[in-house]
Amino acid sequence: MRGLRGATQCSANTVEAIEDAVTELCRELTSRNQLEPQQIVWAIFTVTHDLDADFPARAARVQGWNGVPMICSQEIPVPGSMPRVVRVLLHVDSDGPRNHVYLRGAQALRPDLHVRP
């Protein structure tokens, strides 16, 4: 069993922008961790308070996570926090390294994962 984290920043609070960012995040998480959707036990998505046009779980289903139990919630609205961010916590039934994925502007949330040699 592994726990995997990921986040991305949406370009806008629209269905299209949320779907675009979340499907990219889901693809990268499955690719970088060599996962099949059936290995994902569950997923918890959170969004910042400024994202309410769509549920990230819907976009994850569009990407192929049809059988994955998912729930969406809202992040604590901390003053000065990065806007338009979708985060995800996955519980997966597989072994291997944990390749957390932070995309777009959300890379700034975990600069330690994006160190350039």
Which positions ≥6 away from 74 have C-beta within 8 Å? 46, 47, 48, 49
| Integer CA distances (angstroms), 72 to 16, 39, 94, 96, in order | 17, 20, 23, 26
Tokens of 25: 């995040």
Strand partners, 8: 86
Which amino acids are annotated as binding site, given as ranges?
A: 5, 87, 102
Which amino acids are annotated as binding site for prephenate, given as ranges?
A: 5, 87, 102
